[in-house]
Chain A
Amino acid sequence: MLTLKNISFRHKEQTVLDSINYHFEPNKTYTITGGLSSGKSTLLKITGGLIPPTEGIVCFRERDIQTKGLEREIHRKIGYVFQEGVLISNLSVEENIGLPVKYLLPNSNRDEQRIRVKEMLSRFRVDSSYLDKRPCSIPASIRKTVNFAIAFILQPEVLMVDDPLFNLNKPEREAVIRELTNFKRSGGTMILTGNSERIIKDLTDEVIYLNEGKIQYSDKPELFFTSTDSELSQFVTEEIGD
């Protein structure tokens, strides 16, 4: 479904990602894990077409994701949730939700969309009183769940989430895990990042361990937790948790 071909990314003098090749299959959930500044978020952004790699290409169904003119078609199929929960600061929550809907689903009925928005927000336990508020006046946890709600409203084929449980309080955390589980059951493809044990054990089909800009391990979660590789087992002991 998504293929990384010889992906490298350099920022100033530093090599963040170094010649990465990988193929993401449909209907599977991947978790990219690794230490601090290992390049997890950068790899996810490149895979989602948000930043171009310094070298190499990302193909979505055999087509280069950076091809001009394909942005809307590709991003209609890929939902992206940011680590911190990002919303456009000078728009209300409702306008934020309406923005991608207006651009990516231009033929949809407005009233129908409003109903879907409210339904989706309640699924993520977001009170509808937040709809009129600006992002700066709502808690970070709610901002992130609104990001999830937007991604789900667009009904993507692939969902990319940067550190799914980061910044979430317990009720929102449970709602997010439930929705991600449902998305996985419905046959969606997910690419997640982070070091959450729960996410890796309960949702992941394949763990990708990133170290010094390279993929050092890629296999099933069971093998990831029982690996005899000293560096990997040390990483699991020290970094993986909830």
Chain B
Amino acid sequence: MNYIDRIGERLIVFIENIKSFGRFMATVVRRFLSLYSEKKINADVLVRQVYFTGFEAFWLVSIIAFGIGALIILQGNIILSTFGQTKLMYVLLVTVVIRELSSILTALIVIARSGTSICTELGNMKVSHEIDLLQSYGISPINYLVISRVFGVVVALFTLTIYFNIISILGGWFFTSFFYPIPLKDFMMHLIGELSVGDLLISVIKSVFFGFFIALISCYQGLQVVVARTEVPQRTIRAVVQSILAVIVIDILITYIYYLVL
């Protein structure tokens, strides 16, 4: 087989994988809409997913958000003060943290914690025939396992992103007050002056798309495990890599559309 053949073969496999994922996504969306209208979403799995993805990541998100807010102010203050433009720190906080970093960093935390755990759990369930067991009861694994997880991750990521924004602003204020003692109220007034509804909206819209694709990719890769336990870590690595790529591509697309519209 020559080099061109190998490229062609890989391209075919790539297109087949995209098609297979597209079919999976269409099935999940279709089933979600029908289950949502019938109020039949698995509440136990949904609550457990929101608890694990959202609540248990609370401290980790707090530390990172606080640190990021502080670092932006620290770096910004050093650079901007040389131009006498320290007021631009608020613009920096809005542009860098609220528009970009809050959703993307929260997404990375969720990929590392929940994406890997979803993929591993479903992969192991596949190997130990638990998916077959559900099918033997006539229960669709997509309805029972996937939809609640996707919905749970979307809700958790959405909430965590808002929370990240709040904590990073507090971190920013905390470090600003080292350089220029400023009451929180004044700091917030300056920040709100630079903040538009669009800034907040873009942050939460991104979080919804990120959550949807992270959970979907993780579930898809988990369910692709066939027979061997050794496939589980391989699929988990793929889930992480593909989720990160998806987050970056979606981020670029949404940001581009945002600037196009405004």
Q: Which residues of A contact B (CB under 8 A)?
A: 45, 48-51, 71-76, 78, 80, 82, 84, 86-90, 99-100, 103-104
Contacts A89-B125, A89-B128; A82 near B138 (Cβ below 8 A): no
> B132's contact among A74, A82, A103, by CB below 8 Å, is which?
A82
**Chain A residues with Cβ under 8 A from B129's Cβ?**
82, 84, 86
CB distance from B182 to the nearest CB of A (A): 49
Interface residues of B in 105-161 (CB under 8 A from A): 121, 124-125, 128-130, 132-140
Quick check: A50 and B125 within 8 Å, CB to CB? no
**Chain A residues with Cβ under 8 A from B140's Cβ?**
71
Quick check: A104 and B133 within 8 Å, CB to CB? no
Quick check: B128 and A104 within 8 Å, CB to CB? no
Quick check: B137 and A100 within 8 Å, CB to CB? yes
Quick check: B133 and A103 within 8 Å, CB to CB? no
> A48's contact among B125, B130, B134, B136, by CB below 8 Å, is which?
B136
CB distance from A37 to the nearest CB of B (A): 13
Most A Cβ at <10 Å: residue of B132, B136, B139? B136
Q: What are some 20 contacts across the A-B interface (CB < 8 A)? A: A45-B132, A49-B135, A50-B132, A75-B135, A75-B138, A78-B136, A82-B129, A82-B132, A84-B129, A86-B128, A86-B130, A86-B132, A87-B130, A88-B130, A89-B124, A89-B128, A99-B137, A100-B137, A103-B138, A103-B139
Contacts A86-B128, A89-B128; A75 near B133 (Cβ below 8 A): no
Quick check: B137 and A50 within 8 Å, CB to CB? no
Q: Mark B198-226, 1 if CB is under 8 A from A, else 0.
A: 00000000000000000000000000000
12 other A-B residue contacts (CB within 8 Å) besides A71-B140, A75-B138: A45-B132, A48-B136, A50-B136, A80-B136, A82-B129, A86-B132, A89-B124, A89-B128, A89-B130, A103-B137, A103-B138, A103-B139
Measured between alpha carbons, how far is A47 from B125 in the docked complex, in Å? 22
Most B Cβ at <10 Å: residue of A86, A87, A89? A86
CB distance from A58 to the nearest CB of B (A): 14
Quick check: A71 and B128 within 8 Å, CB to CB? no
Measured between alpha carbons, how far is A86 from B129 in the docked complex, in Å? 7
Quick check: A72 and B135 within 8 Å, CB to CB? no
Q: Which residue of A lies closest to B132 (CB)?
A: A50
Measured between alpha carbons, how far is A82 from B129 in the docked complex, in Å? 8
**Chain B residues with Cβ under 8 A from A99's Cβ?**
137, 139
Measured between alpha carbons, how far is A78 from B238 in the docked complex, in Å? 37
CB distance from A226 to the nearest CB of B (A): 36
Measured between alpha carbons, how far is A159 from B130 in the docked complex, in Å? 19
Measured between alpha carbons, how far is A89 from B125 in the docked complex, in Å? 8
Measured between alpha carbons, how far is A71 from B128 in the docked complex, in Å? 22
Quick check: B136 and A87 within 8 Å, CB to CB? no
Quick check: A50 and B135 within 8 Å, CB to CB? yes
Measured between alpha carbons, how far is A78 from B132 in the docked complex, in Å? 14
Most A Cβ at <10 Å: residue of B134, B137, B139, B140? B137
Measured between alpha carbons, how far is A76 from B138 in the docked complex, in Å? 7
Q: Which residue of A lies closest to B124 (CB)?
A: A89
Measured between alpha carbons, how far is A74 from B138 in the docked complex, in Å? 8
Quick check: B130 and A75 within 8 Å, CB to CB? no
Quick check: B133 and A86 within 8 Å, CB to CB? yes
CB distance from A73 to the nearest CB of B (A): 8
**Chain A residues with Cβ under 8 A from B137's Cβ?**
75, 99-100, 103-104
CB distance from A12 to the nearest CB of B (A): 9
**Chain A residues with Cβ under 8 A from B139's Cβ?**
99-100, 103
Quick check: B132 and A71 within 8 Å, CB to CB? no
CB distance from B125 to the nearest CB of A (A): 7
Quick check: B136 and A71 within 8 Å, CB to CB? no
Measured between alpha carbons, how far is A48 from B132 in the docked complex, in Å? 10
Measured between alpha carbons, how far is A50 from B124 in the docked complex, in Å? 18
Quick check: B138 and A88 within 8 Å, CB to CB? no
Measured between alpha carbons, how far is A41 from B17 in the docked complex, in Å? 29
Measured between alpha carbons, how far is A188 from B59 in the docked complex, in Å? 57
**Chain A residues with Cβ under 8 A from B138's Cβ?**
71-76, 103-104
Closest 10 CB pairs of A and B: A75-B138, A80-B136, A72-B138, A100-B137, A71-B138, A86-B129, A86-B133, A50-B135, A50-B132, A103-B139
CB distance from B32 to the nearest CB of A (A): 16
Measured between alpha carbons, how far is A90 from B144 in the docked complex, in Å? 13
CB distance from A156 to the nearest CB of B (A): 10
